[in-house]
Chains A and B, each alone.
Chain A
Amino acid sequence: MAPTPKRQAAPSRHPLVMVATRKGAWFYYGDDARQDWRTDGPHFLGHIINHVVLDPRDRRTLLAAAKTGHLGPTVFRSTDFGQSWKEAAQPPAFATATGGAGRAVDHTFWLTPGHPDEPNVWFAGTSPQGLFRSADGGIKWAPFSGINDDPQYRQWMGSVQDGTPDGPKLHSLIVDPRDPAHMYFAMSGGGVHESVDGGRTFKLAIEGLECVEGFDQNDPTFHDPHCVRLCPSNPNRLYQQNHCGIYRLDRPSTQWRRIGRNMPQDVGDIGFPMVVHPRDADTAWVFPMDGTSVWPRTSPDGQPAVYATHDGGETWQRQAAGLPADQAWWTVKRQAMTADRLDPVGLYFGTTSGELWLSRDEGARWECIAQHLPEIYAVEVIDLA
């Protein structure tokens, strides 16, 4: 494979930021300079929105994973940027089991558009952990790949008590931009998994990952990946924020390497999100949280900061200019931090306290562009023409 240029030209576009929260969704339309933002929302006020994603293939199809406190989960679809929404005819749901002992989807957590060669294909990860696919742009969903009912996978998935506090999640669904048959997904808990045959089979991808002390590192049950990202500029490289550190994997190697060991010791390498640069596979960002003692899951010492690497994780630089200097006890969830494709790259994150932050210069300086929102679950951005 030819070496990928370190930096490619960025397109001239303006961003649409999609914010999913515990109480609805908001859209922010930026100008070319990312200075002025037009707010559109709330959409689905009062609904629990775990993810909103605009299809980068048609730049028109918008899916929102929703439920409410009372009602079961569903997926809404829009093709006019949220002016109107239509519910999926068949939302993600497990197969009905005899005797009523089967699992029921509590919420759809993660949405991933498929490969450009498969224009209407989408994938969804749920809680409890399940993998689903739509072949018609998100209208009808069906269980995908057989893992949902596979006895081995069910053992690795564990029970509702074995995952994150609001339910174990299947997340980080990744389709290799070079090959629609090459996929990854991760489970909290349950490890990282890879398929090279279009999802017919998956194999474990947990070599080198640490797990909580005292547990068997070879058992995927005990692995808790928080967020896995593939570098678009070098699809052989993946970064991972895990419950037990920050890692990098360079294929064809199968060995994850704990690059978080290079983080400052007083900050540590625990967190939720992982963000990669769109054109430079050596650059990535994390948002550390306090994973000590009882796991407060707040910014360490109440001093929020992004950490960036520009050398594949060999060194990390603190990026806190513009962020609160102290007494800020929020953090950023795994889907709530992302990057646009402009030059310089814009970074965005949403906080558990309902603030939306922007950096126009790859993390050098931060500015709050929205506040007083509900708890932010996910932030996505797409560059519109």
Chain B
Amino acid sequence: MKVLIPSALRSYTEAAQAEADGATLAAVLADLDRLYPGIRFRMIDEQNRMRAHIRFFVNGTQARDLAQPLRPTDELVIVQALSGG
């Protein structure tokens, strides 16, 4: 599926867009980490919680659960939320 990458994470992907596979949000992030080692830990902590200033949107709707099912035609947008100055 198509994954839009925020600027803060393009040091990993070297592109604004990536392709990753998986039946859930967790699986897609694991696939991204396989393709771009280290990227997942910058978004998801060691307790499998989304980091405070990272948001995920699937087809325009915020995803709050890593177990959320995804389809190959979905579009995942990773957003760096406001984090201060």
Q: Do A and B come from one complex?
A: yes
Whether A93 contacts B8 in the complex (CB less than 8 A), given A69-B83, A70-B81, comes out as: no
Whether, in the assembled complex, B43 has its beta carbon less than 8 Å from a beta carbon of chain A, the answer is yes
By the criterion CB–CB under 8 Å, are B8 and A70 in contact?
yes
Q: Nearest chain-B residue to A104 (Cβ)?
A: B45
Nearest-Cβ distance from residue B51 to partner chain A, whole angstroms: 5
By the criterion CB–CB under 8 Å, are A71 and B42 in contact?
yes
- Number of cross-chain contacts by CB at 8 Å: 60
Whether, in the assembled complex, A160 has its beta carbon less than 8 Å from a beta carbon of chain B, the answer is no
Which of A94-102, A236-244, A300-308 is the interface stretch?
A: A94-102
With a 10 A CB-CB cut-off, give which of A71, A88, A96, A102 has the most chain B CB atoms.
Answer: A71
By the criterion CB–CB under 8 Å, are B46 and A104 in contact?
yes
* CB < 8 Å neighbour of B41 from A93, A97, A100, A103: A93
* CB < 8 Å neighbour of B46 from A69, A70, A88, A95: A95
By the criterion CB–CB under 8 Å, are A96 and B46 in contact?
yes
A-contact 0/1 string along B22-37, CB 8 Å cutoff: 0000000000000001
**In the assembled complex, which residues on chain A have CB atoms less than 8 Å from the CB atom of B6?**
70
Whether, in the assembled complex, A105 has its beta carbon less than 8 Å from a beta carbon of chain B, the answer is yes
A133 CA to B46 CA, complexed, in Å: 17
By the criterion CB–CB under 8 Å, are B46 and A105 in contact?
yes
Whether, in the assembled complex, A383 has its beta carbon less than 8 Å from a beta carbon of chain B, the answer is no
- The count of residues in chain B whose C-beta lies closer than 8 Å to any C-beta of chain A is 21
**In the assembled complex, which residues on chain A have CB atoms less than 8 Å from the CB atom of B37?**
87, 89
**In the assembled complex, which residues on chain B have CB atoms less than 8 Å from the CB atom of A72?**
41-45, 51
By the criterion CB–CB under 8 Å, are B8 and A68 in contact?
yes
A132 CA to B80 CA, complexed, in Å: 28
Whether, in the assembled complex, A74 has its beta carbon less than 8 Å from a beta carbon of chain B, the answer is yes
Q: Nearest chain-A residue to B84 (Cβ)?
A: A69
By the criterion CB–CB under 8 Å, are B45 and A70 in contact?
no
* CB < 8 Å neighbour of B53 from A70, A102, A103: A70
Q: Nearest chain-A residue to B45 (Cβ)?
A: A104
Nearest-Cβ distance from residue B4 to partner chain A, whole angstroms: 15
By the criterion CB–CB under 8 Å, are A94 and B54 in contact?
no
**In the assembled complex, which residues on chain A have CB atoms less than 8 Å from the CB atom of B43?**
71-72
Whether, in the assembled complex, A91 has its beta carbon less than 8 Å from a beta carbon of chain B, the answer is yes
**In the assembled complex, which residues on chain A have CB atoms less than 8 Å from the CB atom of B54?**
70-71
By the criterion CB–CB under 8 Å, are B84 and A102 in contact?
no
- The count of residues in chain A whose C-beta lies closer than 8 Å to any C-beta of chain B is 21
Whether A102 contacts B47 in the complex (CB less than 8 A), given A69-B53, A70-B8, comes out as: yes
By the criterion CB–CB under 8 Å, are B47 and A97 in contact?
yes
By the criterion CB–CB under 8 Å, are A70 and B83 in contact?
yes
By the criterion CB–CB under 8 Å, are B38 and A70 in contact?
no
Q: Nearest chain-B residue to A86 (Cβ)?
A: B38
**In the assembled complex, which residues on chain B have CB atoms less than 8 Å from the CB atom of A68?**
8, 83
By the criterion CB–CB under 8 Å, are A93 and B49 in contact?
no
Nearest-Cβ distance from residue A65 to partner chain B, whole angstroms: 14
Nearest-Cβ distance from residue B72 to partner chain A, whole angstroms: 27
Nearest-Cβ distance from residue A373 to partner chain B, whole angstroms: 16
A348 CA to B65 CA, complexed, in Å: 48
By the criterion CB–CB under 8 Å, are B47 and A101 in contact?
yes
By the criterion CB–CB under 8 Å, are B47 and A103 in contact?
yes
Whether A91 contacts B41 in the complex (CB less than 8 A), given A70-B83, A71-B8, comes out as: yes
Whether, in the assembled complex, B20 has its beta carbon less than 8 Å from a beta carbon of chain A, the answer is no
- 5 additional contacts (CB under 8 A) given A89-B38, A91-B38: A69-B53, A71-B51, A72-B45, A93-B45, A100-B48
30 A-B contacts, Cβ less than 8 Å apart?
Answer: A69-B53, A69-B83, A69-B84, A70-B8, A70-B81, A70-B83, A71-B8, A71-B80, A72-B41, A72-B45, A72-B51, A74-B38, A74-B42, A87-B38, A88-B38, A89-B37, A89-B38, A91-B38, A91-B41, A93-B45, A94-B47, A95-B46, A96-B47, A100-B47, A100-B49, A102-B46, A102-B47, A104-B46, A104-B49, A105-B46
A interface residues (Cβ-Cβ under 8 A, vs B): 68-72, 74, 87-89, 91, 93-97, 100-105
Which 10 residue pairs across A and B have the least CB separation, nearest first? A69-B83, A104-B45, A93-B46, A71-B42, A70-B80, A70-B53, A102-B47, A72-B42, A87-B38, A70-B8
B interface residues (Cβ-Cβ under 8 A, vs A): 6, 8-9, 37-38, 41-49, 51, 53-54, 80-81, 83-84
